[in-house]
Amino acid sequence: MKRLFATLATTLTLLPHYAMAQATGPAPAQQPAAISGALDRAFGQMAGAQSGGSLSLSLQLLLIMGLLTILPSLILMMTSFTRVLVVLSILRQAMGLQQSPPNQVLIGLSLFLSLFIMGPTLDKVNANAIQPYANDQIGAEQAFVAGGREFHAFMIRQTRETDLRMFAEMAKAPKFATPADVPYSILLPAYVTSELKTAFQIGFMLFLPFLVIDLVVSSVLMSLGMMMMSPTIVSLPFKLLLFVLVDGWALLMGSLAASFG
């Protein structure tokens, strides 16, 4: 049992070595006034107003609702949400838990952990795009370019070169001089593919200690002649005990956050 404790603790501690980078940061500071002013200016420019104009309330709501429809896709394709959610789902399967924690809890935990992980990137977006635009220093197009540049830098750090090369060859794109020259049409699928690969690697490492417990319990039940007893029911309490004793949630959250750069 001591060896199992050590194995699980070591596995959770070494997870960052199976990811692409190691860096985290604090959650970004909220700037509701700046964001509100930036949106007002954007609506005013879209309405063609000379100064201080804005779209009608109904059109503003229509635009906001339209943006909200693509927000889930942006979260999945451009943030750390996919890796975190896949790892948590694999952990639940490895422990033999069907609906605990429920999907809502896993999604909520993934969202807040992703917000923490994306903190440095969001800080840079606020400093280089939202604040200058709210202070009339840059235009709307320059703000979008500056914000997209920060997300591009985050995604390119997490993307494997082999995945980028594969999608670039599929698109028959020329060689890129610098990573910043990679277009989003190639970077987005390559980034998601790399995230899934990394999540599956971490999931494989998480499965190993629990698989050992399942094998030991199955062998003991077979040796006792209790072939009608389900090994899953017997091994589940030991898995939960092992995970709690090694402080698995804290180790897993810390390792996932440290796996991003």
Residue 32 placed within a domain: yes
Please state, in angstroms and rounded to a whole number, the distance separating the CA atoms of residues 203 and 43.
45
Residue 17 placed within a domain: yes
pLDDT at residue 40, as a whole number: 52
Task: Give the range of the structural domain holding residue 229, as residue numbers without chain letter.
Answer: 2-95+108-258
- pTM, entire model: 0.75
Digit-by-digit pLDDT tens for the chain (261 residues) are 445 444 544 554 444 444 444 333 333 334 445 555 555 555 555 444 444 444 567 776 787 788 788 888 888 888 999 999 999 999 998 888 878 888 999 999 999 999 999 989 999 998 888 888 888 888 777 888 888 888 999 999 999 989 999 999 998 888 888 888 889 889 999 999 999 999 999 999 988 989 888 888 888 888 887 777 777 888 888 888 988 898 889 989 988 888 886
Residue 144 placed within a domain: yes
pLDDT at residue 77, as a whole number: 86
Residue 28 placed within a domain: yes
Reduced 3-state DSSP string for the chain:
CHHHHHHHHHHHHCHHHHCCCCCCCCCCCCCHHHHHHHHHHHHHHHHCCCCCCCCCHHHHHHHHHHHHHHHHHHHHHHCCHHHHHHHHHHHHHHCCCCCCCCHHHHHHHHHHHHHHHCHHHHHHHHHHHHHHHHCCCCCHHHHHHHHHHHHHHHHHHHCCHHHHHHHHHHCCCCCCCCHHHCCHHHHHHHHHHHHHHHHHHHHHHHHHHHHHHHHHHHHHHHHCCCCCCCHHHHHHHHHHHHHHHCCHHHHHHHHHHHCCC
Residue 246 placed within a domain: yes
Give the burial class of 145: count Cβ atoms within 10 A of its Cβ; 0-12 exposed, 13-18 middle, 19 or more buried: middle
Q: How many domains does the chain have?
A: 1
Residue 79 placed within a domain: yes
Residue 253 placed within a domain: yes
Residue 101 placed within a domain: no
